[in-house]
C-alpha cells in the first residue's frame, strides 16, 4: 500500500515528482525516495515522510524519474528498506507497490549467482531479477517480460534505466494510471498525483506492461501483444483533492457529505417501468472489508427490510477461502477504491461459483469494475483521508437505491411505498447539513471523551453496524480502544469491562427497539459508566434522563437513520482525535487502499 509516481518529459523531474508524491502520502508515509536519470541514475531516499525527504534532498538534474512513499510490508522503516532500489550494476532503478509472494525463492537463487542485497524487502528482488535476465538477453524490454513471468503476487512497478528517457510501468493486481500530456507523460498509483498536470488518463489493466516515453505510450501484455486502452477524462479537479482551508482532509471530507450524497443519488431513482425484472431473486450475499464491511452489514438490514429475502454478509478475506459452495445468489462487493485485494479476489471467486456480481465503488476504471457483471459508482469524489467518511455514507446511499430498485422490479415493494422512501432519502443531504451545523456541540462531547483509553459503542437493529463503524472511526484516528457491540449482548460479557472510566456511546433512534435500547442504557448506567446517547432531537428530554451527554440528530425514518448518525460519530471521532494530538489523515500503521492481502 504505497504511493508511486513517474515522469518523463521536457521539465526537470525532481520538484514535479516530489509535489505529485505529496498528494499520495495517504497511501504510505514511513519512508520516501526518488530516482532520476541523467546519463546515470541518481537515488536519494530515507525513512520518514516526504517533508523529511524534501528537507535533505540535494539538487538532482534530469527529466525522467520515479518516486515512492512507503507503507511497510517487508522490512522495518529505515533507509535501506526505502524505495527506489537499484541493481548491482546501477543500470536500473525500480519502485514497487504490492507483495511478491515468491521473493525468498528468487532471492536465494540470485544470491547463489553473486547478487548482493541491501534491504530486507521483497521489492529489491525484482530489480535484481531484471538485471539477471538483462545480462542473459541484452534487451531491457525482454528482461522485463521474463521477470514478470517469474513473479507471484501483486505488484505495480515503475522501472527506469540509465541513458534512457523511457519508463516501464507494470501492473498486476495493484493500481497504476498513466496521465497523458503534450510532450510529457506521467504515471502514478492514484489519480490525485496527476490532477495538477492532466485530466486525461489511461487506467492500466491486469497484466499490462506500458513503455512510456515523452512522446508515446505503448501498452502490451506479458507476451508483447499490443493492447488498446482508451483514455478517460477525470472530472475531479485539483481543488477537490486539496484541503480547501480545513485543518485536515478528513474534516473537509466530512463536511463534503451533503453534496457527495446528493451527487451519489443522481440518476438512480425508481421508475414505474422498472417493475418485475427480478422476481427470481431469492438471496443476496454482501462481501467487503473494513468500513465497507460495515456498510454491507447495514445493507443487510436495508435489503431484508425492503426485499424480505435472506441477506448474508462476509468479510472478503474469509469468503475467498471458504468452501466453494455453488452460488445461486446475487453477490454485492463493496470497496471504496475498487483496488482492495481481498474484495477483488472475492469477486473473481463469486463469478467462478456462478453468482451474479455487483460492485459498489468510488473509482471509475478500478480493477473490480472489470471483474463483475454490474457496477454502481458512489460518485463521492476523491477521498484523501485514510479513514473513510463520505465514501461510507455514499455506499449506504447506493445500497438504499439498489434495494428500492430491486424491491420494485421484483414486485416485493409497492411502487408508492418506494417513492415514499425515496422522498425521505432526498431529504438526507439537508439532515446531514443539520448535523454538521451542530459541530460545536459535538466538539464539546469530544472534550468529555478525550482522556478515555477504552470505550464501547452500542446499538440495535440497523444501528448495530453503525455502532461498529463509529467504534472503528474512534480507534483508527484517536487510538482510543473502542468496540462496537449489539446492545442486547452486553450481559454476555462486555458488562464485565464497564467502569467509571469506560465511556459508552449508545445509539437510540426511535424505532421498534427504542424501549429495549433504553433498558440497555440503564444497564450501563448501573455500572457508573459515562454515557453518551445519539438520538432524534425530538427525544432529547427522554434521553437526557439516562445520559451524561446527548448528541441530537434530525428525525428521519428509522431505515435511513444510519447516515446522520454516522456523520455525527465521524465528527465526534475527529474532534476527539484532534484534541489528543493524533495524526488524523494518516493514522499510524494504516493506509488508504489495501492493495495487498
Nearest to 335 by CA among 298, 283, 385, 388: 388
Instruction: For residue 183, count other CB atoms closer than 10 A to its CB.
Output: 10
SS3 (DSSP) at 3 = strand
498 secondary structure, DSSP code: -
CA separation for the pair 175, 337 (Å, rounded): 10
Concerning whether 592 is annotated as a catalytic residue, the answer is: yes
Are 198 and 180 within 8 A, CB to CB?
yes
Cβ within 8 Å of residue 176, ≥6 positions away: 4, 156, 169, 170, 187, 188, 189, 203, 204, 208, 210
DSSP code string of 23-40: TTGGG--SEEEEEEEESE
Nearest to 474 by CA among 451, 498, 455: 455
- 186 DSSP β-pair partners: 7, 179
Cβ within 8 Å of residue 413, ≥6 positions away: 306, 307, 404, 407
Instruction: For residue 34, count other CB atoms closer than 10 A to its CB.
Output: 27
Active-site option among 107, 285, 300, 592: 592
CA separation for the pair 585, 432 (Å, rounded): 22
Are 400 and 560 within 8 A, CB to CB?
yes
Distances (CA, A) of 303 to 327, 508, 511, 561: 18, 21, 17, 15
Concerning whether 2 is annotated as a catalytic residue, the answer is: yes
Active-site option among 2, 107, 300, 390: 2
Q: How far is CA 499 from the centre of its chain?
A: 35
Nearest to 463 by CA among 300, 261, 288, 290: 300
Instruction: Using the structure block, give the residue that is written with the C-alpha cell 455487483.
Output: 358
Are 485 and 529 within 8 A, CB to CB?
no
SS3 (DSSP) at 16 = helix
393 secondary structure, DSSP code: H
Cβ within 8 Å of residue 378, ≥6 positions away: 264, 336, 360, 361, 362, 391, 394, 395, 397, 398
Nearest to 286 by CA among 122, 396, 144: 396
Nearest to 107 by CA among 96, 120, 91: 120
SS3 (DSSP) at 106 = helix
Long-range Cβ contacts of 107-114 (<8 Å, 24+ apart):
none
Residues annotated catalytic, as ranges = 2, 592
Amino acid at each position: 500500500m504505497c504511493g508511486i509516481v513517474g515522469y518523463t518529459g521536457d521539465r526537470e523531474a525532481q520538484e514535479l515528482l516530489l509535489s505529485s508524491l505529496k498528494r499520495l502520502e495517504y497511501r504510505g508515509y514511513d519512508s520516501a525516495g526518488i530516482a532520476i536519470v541523467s546519463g546515470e541514475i541518481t537515488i536519494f531516499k530515507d525513512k520518514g515522510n516526504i517533508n523529511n525527504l524534501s528537507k535533505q534532498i540535494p539538487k538532482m538534474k534530469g527529466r525522467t524519474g520515479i518516486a515512492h512513499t512507503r507503507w511497510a510490508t517487508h522490512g522495518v522503516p529505515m533507509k535501506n528498506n526505502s524505495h527506489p532500489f537499484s541493481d548491482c550494476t546501477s543500470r536500473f532503478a525500480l519502485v514497487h507497490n504490492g507483495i511478491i509472494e515468491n521473493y525468498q525463492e528468487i532471492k536465494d537463487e540470485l544470491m547463489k549467482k553473486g547478487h548482493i542485497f541491501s534491504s530486507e524487502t521483497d521489492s529489491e528482488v525484482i530489480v535484481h531479477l531484471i538485471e539477471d535476465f538483462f545480462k542473459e538477453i541484452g534487451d531491457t524490454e525482454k528482461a522485463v517480460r521474463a521477470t514478470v513471468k517469474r513473479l507471484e503476487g501483486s505488484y505495480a512497478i515503475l522501472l527506469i534505466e540509465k541513458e534512457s528517457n523511457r519508463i516501464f510501468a507494470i501492473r498486476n493486481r495493484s493500481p497504476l494510471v498513466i496521465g497523458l500530456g503534450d510532450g510529457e507523460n506521467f504515471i502514478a498509483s492514484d489519480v490525485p498525483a496527476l490532477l495538477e498536470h492532466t485530466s486525461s488518463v489511461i487506467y492500466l489493466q491486469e497484466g499490462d506492461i506500458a513503455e512510456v516515453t515523452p512522446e508515446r505510450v505503448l501498452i502490451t501484455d506479458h507476451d508483447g501483444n499490443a493492447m488498446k486502452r482508451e483514455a478517460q477524462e477525470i472530472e475531479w479537479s485539483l481543488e477537490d483533492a486539496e484541503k480547501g482551508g480545513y485543518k485536515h482532509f478528513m474534516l473537509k471530507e466530512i463536511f463534503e457529505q451533503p453534496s457527495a450524497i446528493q451527487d451519489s443519488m443522481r440518476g438512480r431513482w425508481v421508475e414505474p417501468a422498472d417493475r418485475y425484472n427480478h422476481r427470481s431473486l431469492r438471496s443476496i450475499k454482501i462481501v467487503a472489508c473494513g468500513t465497507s464491511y460495515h456498510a454491507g452489514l447495514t445493507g443487510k438490514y436495508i435489503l431484508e427490510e425492503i426485499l424480505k429475502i435472506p441477506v448474508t454478509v462476509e468479510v472478503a478475506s474469509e469468503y475467498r477461502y471458504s468452501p466453494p459452495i455453488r452460488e445461486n445468489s446475487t453477490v454485492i462487493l463493496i470497496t471504496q477504491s475498487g483496488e482492495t485485494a481481498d474484495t477483488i479476489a472475492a469477486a473473481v471467486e463469486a463469478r467462478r461459483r456462478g453468482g451474479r456480481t455487483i460492485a459498489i465503488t468510488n473509482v471509475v476504471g478500478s480493477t473490480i469494475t472489470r471483474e463483475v457483471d454490474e457496477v454502481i459508482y458512489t460518485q463521492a469524489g476523491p477521498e484523501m483521508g485514510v479513514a473513510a467518511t463520505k465514501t461510507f455514507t455514499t455506499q449506504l446511499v447506493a445500497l438504499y437505491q439498489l434495494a428500492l430498485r430491486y424491491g420494485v422490479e421484483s414486485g416485493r415493494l409497492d411502487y408508492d411505498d418506494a417513492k415514499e422512501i425515496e422522498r425521505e432519502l432526498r431529504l438526507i443531504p439537508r439532515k446531514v447539513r443539520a448535523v454538521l451545523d451542530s459541530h460545536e456541540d459535538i466538539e464539546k462531547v469530544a472534550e468529555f471523551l478525550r482522556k478515555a483509553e477504552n470505550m464501547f459503542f452500542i446499538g440495535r437493529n440497523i444501528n448495530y453496524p453503525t455502532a461498529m463503524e463509529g467504534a472503528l472511526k474512534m480507534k483508527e484516528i484517536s487510538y482510543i480502544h473502542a468496540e462496537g457491540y449489539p446492545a442486547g449482548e452486553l450481559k454476555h460479557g462486555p458488562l464485565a469491562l464497564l467502569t467509571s472510566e469506560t465511556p459508552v456511546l449508545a445509539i437510540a433512534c426511535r424505532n421498534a427497539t427504542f424501549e429495549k435500547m433504553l433498558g440497555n442504557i440503564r444497564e450501563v448506567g448501573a455500572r457508573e459508566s459515562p454515557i453518551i446517547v445519539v438520538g432524534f432531537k425530538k427525544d432529547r428530554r427522554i434521553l437526557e434522563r439516562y445520559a451524561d451527554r446527548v448528541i441530537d440528530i434530525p428525525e428521519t425514518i428509522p431505515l435511513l437513520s444510519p447516515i446522520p448518525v454516522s456523520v455525527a460519530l465521524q465528527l465526534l471521532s475527529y474532534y476527539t482525535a484532534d484534541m489528543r494530538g493524533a495524526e488524523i489523515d494518516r493514522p499510524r500503521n494504516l493506509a488508504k487502499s489495501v492493495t495487498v492481502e
